[in-house]
Structure formats: C-alpha cells, structure tokens
Structure 1
C-alpha cells in the first residue's frame, strides 16, 4: 500500500487543479493530485477571454512558470505548441433566429475582444490543454494518482484519503485539501456544506458534442447575400452564439477543423432527463439556418456520443474553510454564456495560492475573503446571464442585456493592471450592482408591456444612459449598429 503524507491534496486534475498543483509544488510544498479519471479526457468549458489570458500570464510571472506564457496568446501558442489543439477567438458573435423563419440580417451582434490574431484569445481543446498542465505539475514536483477510486475523510491532523489505484491500495494524508472536482464537490459533500442553488435565477441545461463538417457562419451568410465586410473580424473566429426563441447554441471552432457545439435550453424539472439525440435533431429541424449549417456534420467527440445535462446551475454556501478550499468551478456554476468559466477559475487559482503561500497568520482571513468573494461573483454572473434569457425571444433585448456583461468586463480589461483587480468582473462595485438591479426592473417592465420597436428602442436608450459611468468602449452606440471593434482589450 502506498502511504504518504503531503502538505496539500488536490482532488481533481483538470486545468484548475493542475495549475494550482504546479504553483504549490514549484513553491516548495509537497502536493498530491488525485483523480478518479485519467488524461486525456473530454471536457467542455473551452473559451478563453482577455481576463483569462492576463490571469494566466500573471501566474506564469509570479510563480516562475514560463511554460505557461505561450498559452496566453494565439500567436505564441501556435508557434510554441502546435501539438496542442486550440482555436482562434477574436471575440463574441451573436445571430438571432426565429422558429421556422429565414435568417434576418438585422439580427447580428459582433463584439471584438482582441485587436489581432497574434494577440488573440483562444478556444482550448481541453483534452490537450488539461493534459499539458497536468504533466507540467508533475514536472515541477507534484505527485499524481490517476484512476483512483477513493474515499475522503477528516482526521485530527487534517485529511485522510484512502482508495484503490490501478495497481495497489492507496492511503494519503495532508493538512490541507483543495476541491477541484467540479460538480462532484467531494470536499463539500464530505463536510456536509449546505447548498444554496435555490437562490439562483438562471435555469438552463445543455446538449453538446464536438462535430466535424459544420459549415462556417460566414459561408452561410454569404450564401444568403449578407455583407460580412461589416464584421470587425471573421465572425467564426469567436464564441459564436445562435440566439433562439427559448435558448441559444454555442459554436467554438478549433484549428483541427472540429467545432464544439452545444444547445442551451430551459431546464426541465428535477429528475427529468433529456434524450440528447432527439433534442438535437428537433432543434436543428426547427431553425432553417442551423439545419443547413449542420447538413453535412458528423459527431467526432466524445466517444460516447452526444452528452446531455440536467440543470447546470449550482451554488454552495461556503467555498473555503480552515483547512480546505474549493475552486470556483466546484463552488458553483451558472451557464456557458459570456465565457466566464476559464477566467473565473484562474482568478480562483491565484487567490487560493496567495492564501496558502502567504503568511500563515493571514491564511484563515484570506480564505474567508475568498469564500465570500467567489459566492458573490457567481451570484453576479447569474444576474448577467439570467437577464439575457429573460429577454428571449427578442434578439434586441438579449443583445442590449449583453452590454451589461461587456461593460463590466471591459472596465476590468481597461484597468491599469486587470489581473490585479481584487474582484472578478468588478463585483465589489456597489454602484454597478445597484444599476444592475434597476436595469432588471426596467427590463421586466419592458417585457410586461409586450414590446414593439419603440419600446425596445426606449429600453436601449435607458440602458445606454445607465451604463455611462462604465462604458469606456462605445457600447450601445447607434453608430456602431451592433458591430464593435473598439471593445478589444488593450495590448
């Protein structure tokens, strides 16, 4: 039986758990990563942002991990690691569709996040990236145990993990444990931490997979006589959103020709399960643009076929304690909309690392601050996401509500040092929070009035004025006509 004592156990070896393990090991701590699965493995949550890039770059600098730096920009990634599949992400693009109707060229929104291909964000093929970071953690001194069926329990000196690996029994002990297990929430469950998902307003679930042979949106638009020269960048080099009557579809292109695709739709009741193939086929058949786009597409990942989830939203009541911490992706999740997952996880990695590697007398205080911050940030993301869904099926209301996210994120991106801002997306900005509540009330009043063009324009005008203190990039400018180049993060 392998029996070892460590400073830290990290449960889960996705990109967040692996990065934190690398930081702690490189800083002199003894670290064991434990995972029930093995690399490489399929995962979603693939779209980076300028905040994610800046946070990853700061990790590389602060903790002497130069191996990370090439992954912070598309150009350096392609030169340094052509073996790791990624995709070019210049920003966000949105296209509105109505059930059974042809595409209307006026229903477009394209928002730049990066100024050029060289400094662009990326789509991560997670099976490649997670394995790379897992191997990096091993290289800098973290021990790893994959394919382990384990049990975790508390003990007087900290934590004890027992289990069975592929070859032998396992017994590990540590003073501190990090929960990077995502929805499994192993530490949260072991401690019986109360759940507060009921406080979240967003209710959505997903059907998803990776496809080959998906036609580009640009080709589809040109086929319909739509002028793509108006776009500030190639609209497919983006987190593509097809906005539907009751949900939306993401499309993230990788350089190997495959596309991560997922339908987001209203969550069913507890215990109700989707038939993923049935849902997928029905939604494609309902929207002519998507039906044509996928007419020659084939599913290539994962090997088990299309995946379906139950309701995605979850939220814990506590995200850290005296001798434990949960990454943001374990503490809760809202929705893929706005691509907040990678950046939020990286912010969490930095904050947990700072707490653990700083002065011992300040660790508990820092963990308490981290715990409340993560919960507040997840609730804030919930507000930003829920308003978009509430605006459906009005593409103009969806697009207008998106401006609240872009105001928050561009304010942080244009700060003197975005990676050093204390809260994610400026959650600690009290005035922005008040404005967000007022905006949701105004949105509801607009929806209650069965809005026509005048009511939609009135809401946009109100929101433009309300966003003024945080609008550094011309959001909701009539001159932009939904095509934003000035929103790119500073180089």
Structure 2
C-alpha cells in the first residue's frame, strides 16, 4: 500500500515533519540513506527550535535525553569579549535550549517519529523522481541493489546536504556566498569546571584574519565539538593536512586554545566545503524541499536546524490542508514565510563576514541594552518575529547600529 507522504531523509526536518503528519493521521514513510545513529555536524540548537519540537510532540524526548543545556553564546576577538544570554531577548518564547550530539539527537527524533506512527526505512537511496501534482513517484535502491517504485500523494525532501531533489531535478541555484570550508572534530575537552560556562557556545575570531572564526560547543559527558571556518585559501597556509591546519589555527585562537590545552581528540578531523547552497524553487508538482535540502547559509549562527524545523512546520501545515482536499498556496503559506526568516539570517551572516556585525558585537552603541535584546532575539532563532525591527529590516538596522558604533 502506498503511503500518503514519502519523506527523503530522517534528519531533524524529516523526522519532525513525519511526526507531525503521522500525528495528524496520515501514512508516512521516511527513506534514509544512512543507518542511525550516525555522526553529523551542527550540534548547537537555538531556543526558537524548541517551539517546533513541542509542536511535533518530540520535546519530551529531547528534554529527557540528558543533553548539555544552552542559554547563550560568548564571542571573543583577542582580549575583547561579549556574552549574549538568550533569555535576555526582546521576543517572547523559549530562551534556553540544548547543545547536542547529533548522532543521538537525530536518532531519538527518528524514533519519536516512529512512535507517532511513521515508518522509517534505512539504507535507502533515492535515484529518480517523477514529479506529479497528484501522484509523484520515486525510484529507490537498497544496499543490496534492489530497486522499487514508490508512489505517494506528496514528497518532502529533507535530505540535508545530500540535496536529493535539487540534484535530480536540476534545481540548484547560485548561493551568493563565497566558497568556505569548515574543519572540525570532537574532543574530550578536560576543561576545568570553573574555567568556562558550558551553557554557552564560544565563537572566536581569528586575530589575524577576521573572516576566519572558530566554534567551541561544550557537550554532555565532558565532550566538545570544535572547529574552524574560513576560505580554503585562508586555511591552507596553516599546514599540509587538515589535522595540522586545525591544530595551528587553534594554537593562535586565544581563550579557546587555552581552554582546550589538555583536550584529547576522540574522532578523526572532518571537513565540509562549498556548503552554501540554494535552489530556484522550494516547491514543484507534488513535492517541497525542507531545510538544507533547499538552502544552507553558513554555520556561524547555528541557524541550520532552526530553519529546517521551521520549514517542516510550515510545509506540514500546508500539506495537511492539501491531503484533506483543500488547495493551499504553497508560495504564500510555505516558501514566502520561510524566506523571510532565511533572509534575516542571511543579512546577519553577510554582516559577520563584512565586519559590520563583528563591529556591533564588540562595541557598545547608544541605547545598547535594548539594541542588544533585539539582536539577541535573532541570535536565539527568532528570525520570523516581525515586531523586531532587526528582523523586519535587518540590513537597514544593522547598518544604523554600525554607524552608531563609529
């Protein structure tokens, strides 16, 4: 029997969408190429994401998992330091969240979707897609090479960096950002208990090149995710291997290097390059693209999971209406509202790399307290709060504050 909905990918967007749709009474099959649990980068959630986990009835799964709490972010550049407490924001809503091991986080969300009634099939690769407004179909190959056809009433692509439908349907579009790469690993950090507030991620700017930055994300059980982001040509002089580059860069990072002086690596150094991506359209006949399958900006503000869950929520609401015989306007109900938040994050990512946002973060403009609360709201993921002028017209207000900073 064919399912009502097929979802490609069992990451956060796919599992949340599956849980919502199954909870609404529809049959759902999720096709995942990997086997869970599996490693993934992107461990730092934003508080706004908690709303959509609750909407999918998956919040309790996350709360009871024992992840590291998160209430903000610390930014460092040389001796300059600025802390953002997400509870001190202008928007209503959650002010805390978690820093998660994605292997465990993604696995528990997938299991939560199964608990809600969805079917999750692992080791499945989608090799062809035939769009159709009523009965889209997929060709799927398993790990033994067997192929099958699946026809559904709708397909959601939540394949993340795999970007399945973008590739199969030639939807790729210029991202608008220069190529950057990240080099990363997990360590047993051995940070002394009083040396750093583990409830906050640490974002550090390289002292010699402000386009290079580092992350340090304390996790539960004494682990830590650490990495560096920059243009390949900026990272290459630091060593002939990724391990050498990461070690050399961390050595000149200041506080981060001091905190991790006794760290012990517990997984190989990995890399992702050319990750910025977007598509010509998020929807088509019988399908829609969620999260990173449609667009990914940059890891600097940890927006990836938040955008993914927002897209899952918007798409599910529209799709439930369609499956019940109504005619949703996918552009107005899904693509446009999703884009508003994405464009807010885009303005902040652009401001980070052109230096204007770094200038604001490490300065004290006039009326700094209220301005900081509004910027904190965006950093906490409230990029769809139109009451916030830094969401409504982010470019304009960031430029204004930059000028106030001299």
TM-score normalized by the length of structure 1: 0.70
Structure 1 residues 160 and 123: CA distance shift in structure 2, 3 A: same
Report the 3-state secondary structure (helix = DSSP H, G, I; strand = E; otherwise coil) of the residue aligned with 1:358: helix
- Deviation digits for residues 349-384 of structure 1 (CA, Å, limit 9, x no counterpart): 111110011255654403554123334433331211
Structure 1 residues 367 and 27: CA distance shift in structure 2, 3 A: farther
Equivalent residue for 2:74, pick from 93, 110, 116 = 93
Shift, 1:267, TM fit = 4.7
Contact 2:345 2:383 in 1 (8 A): no
Structure 1 residues 154 and 239: CA distance shift in structure 2, 3 A: same
Q: Which moved more, 1:174-183 or 1:423-432?
A: 423-432
Report the 3-state secondary structure (helix = DSSP H, G, I; strand = E; otherwise coil) of the residue aligned with 1:6: coil
Distance (Å, rounded) in 2 between the aligned partners of 1:411 and 1:51: 9
Are 2:349 and 1:382 equivalent residues in the alignment? Answer: no
Shift, 1:202, TM fit = 6.0
Are 2:217 and 1:252 equivalent residues in the alignment? Answer: yes
Shift, 1:411, TM fit = 7.8
Give 1:241's aligned residue: 203
Shift, 1:405, TM fit = 8.5
- Deviation digits for residues 253-308 of structure 1 (CA, Å, limit 9, x no counterpart): 11211001111223549xxx98421220220233354443333212213xxx1111
Shift, 1:441, TM fit = 8.2
- Deviation digits for residues 196-229 of structure 1 (CA, Å, limit 9, x no counterpart): 31xx34653211111103425952xxxxxxxxxx
Report the 3-state secondary structure (helix = DSSP H, G, I; strand = E; otherwise coil) of the residue aligned with 2:17: helix
Give 1:172's aligned residue: 150
Structure 1 residues 369 and 196: CA distance shift in structure 2, 3 A: farther
Contact 1:384 1:405 in 2 (8 A): no
Give 1:150's aligned residue: 126
Are 2:307 and 1:344 equivalent residues in the alignment? Answer: yes
Indicate the structure (1 or 2) with the bigger Cα radius of gyration. 1
Could you list the runs of 4 or more consecutive aligned residues of structure 1 that deviate by over 6 angstroms after TM superposition?
401-405, 427-431
Structure 1 residues 364 and 239: CA distance shift in structure 2, 3 A: same
Q: Output aligned runs, 1:53-68, within 5 Å.
A: 53-57=50-54, 59-60=55-56, 65=57, 68=58
Structure 1 residues 374 and 130: CA distance shift in structure 2, 3 A: same
Are 2:41 and 1:44 equivalent residues in the alignment? Answer: yes
Give 1:451's aligned residue: none
Distance (Å, rounded) in 2 between the aligned partners of 1:287 and 1:126: 25
Shift, 1:37, TM fit = 0.5
Equivalent residue for 1:139, pick from 94, 115, 133 = 115
Give 2:85's aligned residue: 112
Distance (Å, rounded) in 2 between the aligned partners of 1:150 and 1:183: 14
Give 2:91's aligned residue: none
Are 2:277 and 1:314 equivalent residues in the alignment? Answer: yes
Distance (Å, rounded) in 1 between the aligned partners of 2:372 and 2:287: 31
Structure 1 residues 286 and 177: CA distance shift in structure 2, 3 A: same
Contact 2:46 2:302 in 1 (8 A): yes
Distance (Å, rounded) in 1 between the aligned partners of 2:302 and 2:106: 17
Contact 2:183 2:270 in 1 (8 A): yes
Contact 1:10 1:177 in 2 (8 A): yes
Give the RMSD, CA atoms, in angstroms: 3.5
Distance (Å, rounded) in 2 between the aligned partners of 1:138 and 1:182: 20
List gaps (5 residues or longer) in structure 2: 89-93
Aligned residue pairs, count:
389
Distance (Å, rounded) in 1 between the aligned partners of 2:398 and 2:96: 31
Distance (Å, rounded) in 2 between the aligned partners of 1:123 and 1:211: 15
Distance (Å, rounded) in 2 between the aligned partners of 1:280 and 1:23: 40
Shift, 1:10, TM fit = 0.5
Shift, 1:438, TM fit = 6.3
List gaps (5 residues or longer) in structure 1: 98-103, 220-233, 444-457, 462-491
Q: Output aligned runs, 1:411-422, within 5 Å.
A: none
Give 1:298's aligned residue: 264
Distance (Å, rounded) in 2 between the aligned partners of 1:216 and 1:96: 22
Give 1:280's aligned residue: 246
Contact 1:240 1:250 in 2 (8 A): yes
Distance (Å, rounded) in 2 between the aligned partners of 1:406 and 1:316: 33
TM-score normalized by the length of structure 2: 0.83
- Deviation digits for residues 57-79 of structure 1 (CA, Å, limit 9, x no counterpart): 2x14xxxx3xx23256xxxx2xx
Distance (Å, rounded) in 2 between the aligned partners of 1:108 and 1:139: 44
Shift, 1:459, TM fit = 3.4
Are 2:59 and 1:69 equivalent residues in the alignment? Answer: yes
Are 2:398 and 1:460 equivalent residues in the alignment? Answer: no
Give 1:183's aligned residue: 161
Distance (Å, rounded) in 2 between the aligned partners of 1:401 and 1:382: 23
Distance (Å, rounded) in 2 between the aligned partners of 1:184 and 1:368: 26
Distance (Å, rounded) in 1 between the aligned partners of 2:250 and 2:141: 45
